[in-house]
Structure 1
Amino acid sequence: MSSFSSGGIKPDIVVIGSGVGGGGVAYQLASTGARVLILERGDFLPKEAQNRDAEAVFVQNRYRTKEEWQHDNGKRFRPGHYHFVGGHTKFYGTAMFRFRESDFEEARFEDGISPAWPISYRDLEPYYAQAEELFGVRGQAGIDPTEPPRSGPYPHPAIPHEPVIARMAAGLAKQGLKPFHMPSAVDFGDGGKCERCGTCDAFPCFIGAKGDAETSLLNPILNLPNVALQTNTKVLRLITDKEGKKITSIEVDHNGKREFIEAPLFVLSAGAINSALILLRSRSEQNPNGVANRSGVVGRYLMNHHLTGLIGVLPFSLNETHFPKTISVNDYYYGLPGDPTARGNVQMLGKIQGAMIRSIHKRFPVPIANMIGKHTVDWLIMSEDLPNAESQVRFSKEGEIEIAYHPGGWSGHDRFVKAMRQKIRKLGFPMVMRHSFGIEAPSHQCGTVRMGNDPESSALNSFCQAHDHPNLYVVDGGFFPSSAGLNPALTIAAQALRVGAHLKEKWQQGLLDAQL
């Protein structure tokens, strides 16, 4: 912790959350000289042998939050949330996709609308490029048939396929598809840290080779005298002035002790679900529905992507691949032939192990689960989840965290999965098992504090500034008006860098205090 924070000097900017959103804003502001205090609910993730142990990670849930939520039917569950410095990127699968140009425009589906964003792909393009550089993204431009315009190539060459995955790519190409190298934030190549250890997707990286928010955004700035990181600090609520407009302070639980932190500017980046909960918990006489919620949208329009795993079984041969996440397919991103709403992205899952199978099918005998895990090639089919006002995170009457999840666009996703299952079978799999991922693992959570041009139907403007509170910005997946059909991490990072650059310019011009 730097001297300004430990010495009791008030910070200029408080960033709540150390993930890709908060980290991106902090990275841009660090060079201004402004005193930036980053708050993290958890601590640094320990580097230990269990980082690579599937039994510890998936069966024992060693790193998952112990907090419990409930569905709107009252059924309780322990969500796939991880509170560590670097946020959920400590466990993500390293996929770093740019959204397509059309993802920022309105699209109509059979059972809903994907609304337009208040920004365009062109607004984010330079920040996509900056984020790819900071995260060390490996990729190859010019092969993905849906790739949007780029101002330059990827910073590093694509990660090469291992033999089994190369055969999968060749087989897909024979079927007329255009598989391409998935853009991945892994320090792979000559002089790189990556060892292809086999435990990357959904595991923390034991050796720091994964391009996560801690490694890529925080480590470069935490040695600066004007940047401080305070861990084990859970933000409880935001407090406003008497008029209910300006955020004056926040109430936190710091190592079990209630404290208040004052600052002129606050950036809330706790993740789409937890940011919405903090805003709702901040209700007052002036803001009876919660902070930044004049429109009533906070906590609503929760999206999480339709995610289905297809597990191809090779009964007579082993899959000894260590890092399989090198293929992606976007041929049907705009729809199957004659069925434009059956659409999405195809990519690889990390290598399935027996413990992962047993974490879902708890009665599976250990030897059988381990044997199956050695003979599978594992795919992820992803489609856009359409926003629905009744899909929300909220507090129950008893004060419990409650998720009422009503995803949109499932029927189109189901048709897309069935079509891709047939394509995968043709690669030589006599059996392809199917498993759907639900809201219990909210790894792609978004939409709960949506941005837009109209304060009556959105909480934030195009720079993620709250319409109702000039010194509050919300920068995480919550700002998404729609989910698109691709992994969200790079888009959150790009918008965070854009917001940070916007605040940096105002700070350097001496306009930030005047604005607030």
Structure 2
Amino acid sequence: MRRIEERVMTDAESGPGARLAVDGSIATAVLIVGSGPGGSAAAHAFAGSGLDVLVAERGSHLPSVPRDEIVTAMHVDKRYANTEKWYDASDGKPFTPGTYYYVGGNTKFYGAALPRFRRQDFERTPMQEGFSQGWPFGYAEMEPYYTRAEKLYRVHGRLDEDPTEPEHSEDFPFPALEHEPDIERFAASLRAQGLHPYHTANGLEVTSQAEREEERASDGTPSFADRKSDAWNRLLKPALDADERIQLLTELRITRLIAAKDGRRLVAAEGTYRGKPVTIHAERIILAAGAANTAALLLRSGVANSSDLVGRNYMVHNTTFLVGVHPLRRNRTAWQKTIGVNDWYLAGDDRPPLGNMQMLGKLSAEMLKGFFPLLPRFLLKWVTDRSIDLCLISEDVADPGNRVTADGERIVVRWKRNNLAAHQHLVGNVRKAVRKAGFPFVFTRLMGIATNSHMCGTTAAGTDPASSVVDENCRAHDLDNLWIVDSSVFPSSAASNPVLTISANALRVADKIRAALAP
């Protein structure tokens, strides 16, 4: 397949597809802003529609780095960091957010964790602090799209272990990745404690221990062998290959949306293509730039905000990294991210929902060096050779005071942590379980404002235009031809990884758009 950028940019070439005119303008039926899990899923759903679809990605494809240099490049040299600094409203200081501008978005770097939200995650639920807000559509509507997204992402999993797993109309497409011996020992100890460890839903394809070793660092770094399912290799690239009317233009940053005089429709999007101004005339615009950038674009454009809720209700999860160390036992696991525990996910008889426990990819000295630059590498290696590494996630409750604003080109984030007592309860429960499993030394680190790869909520969906930004089909209440399909539409953050839910919802929304166009 030729580079899509070349096909878009060649005016003289015949055939369908968007064209860049001499005056720097493009006309298309559908403009999708962003190529992460939402934008790529929407593009995939438009394959075969007969519509010209242009995917605008402000970044480029990932640069190539030798596999044996990838961890240092990622965690020490920060070679992949390409996001501008954002600013903490509490003190005005800049920070580097946990997001990346590349084709495929953050899925190029994630750990391929692809769980469904639970049925209860779509319902209004009392938390220890406040309420988890209900969604304008429920699990039943999402279920067939979850099934479809699992097939696209080639998800591996099991249905018979986690009591909180919602009903599936079909089994996982592939069997779960088996635990390696040290993780199986840990799982056995958890079961002996009366817990229900389960094999996590995952999008990594490995068939041998050697392949697992090669993917050891792929939770947090790219997989250049493409064994990790991401938005590019499973959604967008297949769509480009299948339908020449779907186009991708990289290094195209959309900076402003232009509304018609009546204010009910968008007529164009303005931006820059490799530094040069460009105007895209689109009949329909779908935003999938991520919770912060989508909100910032709407605020800079002055559209879709009659509710004054654009940018508000920003959520990122309460997240703690927990490391248990057995000084006399080495952990030789290569791909560690195969186990989870949801025994505290839903409310119990005497407690509110607490959250999820899952594995991190196996930590290494190089990864920790980025967090602890002053500690010697030999000490970090001694710890990580003997550690078991966990990520604990609790819900961050929607709060209108937590918000994203745009100060010119700067993104400013105001985030005050909430529901922390429930998260501390979860951390305490897991700390006890890890010690009982034979790891006497336990270290924890509560992650802060920069750990925002799970951010959501800034254009929340709802049925009431006064209390939401988009409707149940994720179309803006204020505009007839604007939809949003990234995590910004989430009314609640749940306590789980968001990628599968983003993609499933984007498939659902694209189907709604296509159905409305059918004769």
TM-score, normalised with respect to structure 2? 0.93
Deviation at 1:327, TM superposition (A): 0.4
Q: Within 2, Cα distance between the matches of 1:152 and 1:275? A: 33
Sort the Cα spacing of 1:118 and 1:226 in 2 relative to 1 into closer, same or farther, 3 A.
Answer: same
- How far residue 214 of structure 1 moved from its aligned partner, in angstroms, is 0.1
Per the alignment, residue 410 of structure 1 pairs with: 420
Cα deviation digits, residues 410-450 of structure 1 (max 9, x gap): 11111111111111111111101001122202110100010
- Deviation of the 1:190 alpha carbon: 8.0
Partner of 1:327: 339
Alignment of 1:7-86 (within 5 A): 8=21, 10-49=27-66, 53-72=70-89, 73-86=91-104
Aligned to 1:206: 224
Hey, what does 1:426 align to over in structure 2?
436
Percent identical residues: 39
Q: Are the equivalent residues in 2 in contact too, given 1:186–1:194 (CA < 8 A)?
A: no
CA distance 1:121–1:192, shift in 2 (3 Å): farther
CA displacement at 1:77 relative to structure 2: 1.1
SS at match of 1:220: helix
- Give me the whole-angstrom Cα distance separating, in 2, the residues matched to 1:177 and 1:14: 47
Is the 1:313–1:375 Cα contact (8 Å) retained in structure 2? yes
More displaced stretch, 427-436 vs 331-340? 331-340
1:221–1:192 CA distance, 2 compared to 1 (3 A): farther
CA distance in 2, matches of 1:335, 1:168: 25
- Asked if 1 retains the 8 angstrom alpha-carbon contact of 2:292 and 2:411, the reply is no
Counterparts of 2:420 and 2:390 in 1: how far apart (Å)?
18
Aligned match of 2:465 in 450, 455, 459? 455
Q: Which residue, 281, 291, 303 being the options, matches 2:300?
A: 281
Match of 2:12 in 1: none
1:147-194 CA distances to partner (integer Å, 9 max, x unpaired)?
Answer: 111101100000000011010100000000111100001123389976
Between the aligned partners of 2:499 and 2:68, the Cα distance in structure 1 is 22
| Match in the other structure for 2:205 | 187
Offset, 1:199: 1.3
2:460–2:470 CA contact under 8 A, matched in 1: yes
The secondary structure found in structure 1 opposite 2:286 is: strand
User: For 1:51 and 1:502, how far apart are their aligned partners in 2?
Assistant: 45
Question: 2:83–2:101: 8 Å Cα contact kept in structure 1?
Answer: no
The answer to whether 1:298 aligns with 2:316 is: no
When residues 429 and 193 of structure 1 are mapped into structure 2, their CA distance, relative to the original with a 3 A threshold, is closer
What CA distance in whole angstroms lies between the structure 2 residues aligned with 1:51 and 1:439?
Answer: 30
Distance 2:179 2:417 in 1: 34
Work out whether 1:233 is the aligned partner of 2:252.
yes
Identify the residue that residue 263 of structure 1 maps to in structure 2. Answer: 282
SS of the residue corresponding to residue 441 of structure 1 reads coil
Aligned to 2:330: 318
Q: 1:270 and 1:475 mapped to 2: Cα distance?
A: 9
Paired position in structure 1 for 2:502: 492
Measured on the aligned residues, the alpha-carbon RMSD in Å equals 1.7
Q: Which amino acid aligns with 2:508?
A: R
Alpha-carbon distance in 1 for matches of 2:295, 2:213: 38
Map of 2:129 onto structure 1: 111
**Cα distance in 1 between the residues matched to 2:444 and 2:462:** 37
C-alpha separation in 2, matches of 1:365 and 1:409: 36
Any conservation in 1 of the 2:30–2:285 contact (CA below 8 Å)? yes
C-alpha displacement of 1:52: 5.5
Contact 1:50 1:56 in 2 (8 A): no
Rounded Cα–Cα distance in structure 2 between residues aligned with 1:209 and 1:194:
10
Contact 1:250 1:261 in 2 (8 A): yes
Q: How much has 1:65 moved relative to structure 2?
A: 2.0
Cα 1:335/1:361, change in 2 over 3 Å: farther
Question: Secondary structure of the residue that 2:454 maps to in structure 1?
Answer: coil
Output the CA distance in 2 between the equivalents of 1:36 and 1:28.
11
TM-score (norm 1): 0.94
- Whether 1:5 and 2:43 are equivalent positions in the alignment is no
Aligned residues: 500
- Partner residue of 1:363? 374
Give the equivalent residue in structure 2 for 1:253. Answer: 272
Structure 1, unpaired ranges of 5+: 284-290, 510-516
Q: Hey, what's the Cα distance between the residues in 2 that align with 1:475 and 1:354?
A: 37
CA offsets, 1:214-237, max 9 Å, x none?
Answer: 011011111221011000011101
Q: Deviations over 1:378-433 (max 9, x none)?
A: 0111111100111011134x763211012321111111111111111111111010
Structure 1 residue 452: Cα displacement: 0.1
Q: Are 1:156 and 2:167 counterparts?
A: no
2:161 to 126, 130, 143: 143
Deviation at residue 50 of structure 1 after TM alignment? 5.6
Conserved 8 A contact 1:449-1:459: yes
Give the Cα–Cα distance (whole angstroms) in 2 for the partners of residues 386 and 66 of structure 1. Answer: 26
- 3-state DSSP of counterpart to 1:144: coil
- 1:474 paired with 2:487, answer no
Secondary structure of residue in 1 paired with 2:73: helix
Kept in 2: contact 1:51–1:206 (CA 8 A) = no
8 Å contact kept, 1:65–1:80: no
Partner of 1:88: 106
Whole-angstrom CA distance in 2 between matches of 1:399 and 1:233? 16
Task: Verify the 8 A CA contact 2:459 2:490 in the aligned structure 1.
Answer: yes
Change in 2 beyond 3 A, CA 1:262/1:94: same
Q: Name the SS of the counterpart of 1:382 in structure 2.
A: strand
CA distance, structure 2, for counterparts of residue 220 and residue 49 of structure 1 = 26
Alpha-carbon distance in structure 1 between the residues aligned to 2:19 and 2:72: 39
1:30 to partner: Cα distance: 1.6
Q: Return 5+ residue gaps in structure 2 as ranges.
A: 9-16
Structure-2 change in CA distance of 1:258 and 1:245 (3 Å): same
**1:293 Cα deviation from its structure 2 partner:** 0.7
Task: Tell me the CA shift for residue 196 of structure 1.
Answer: 4.7
Alignment match, 2:514: 504
Partner SS state of residue 264, structure 1: strand
State the Cα distance separating 1:334 from its structure 2 match. 1.4
Tell me the amino acid that sits aligned with residue 319 of structure 1.
N
Change (3 A) 1:504 1:93: same
TM-superposition CA deviations, 1:53-107 (whole Å, max 9, x none): 2221012111112411111111111212211000111111111111111111111
One-letter code aligned to 1:494: A
Match for residue 174 of structure 1 among 162, 168, 192: 192
Mark the CA change 1:496 to 1:52 in structure 2 (over 3 Å): closer, same or farther. Answer: farther
AA in 2 matched with 1:31: G
| AA aligned opposite 1:467 | H
Identify the residue that residue 288 of structure 1 maps to in structure 2.
Answer: none
Which amino acid in structure 1 is aligned with residue 147 of structure 2? A
For residues 104-163 of structure 1, what are the alpha-carbon distances to aligned partners after superposition, in whole Å with 9 as ceiling and x for unaligned?
111112321111100000000000000000000000112111111110110000000001
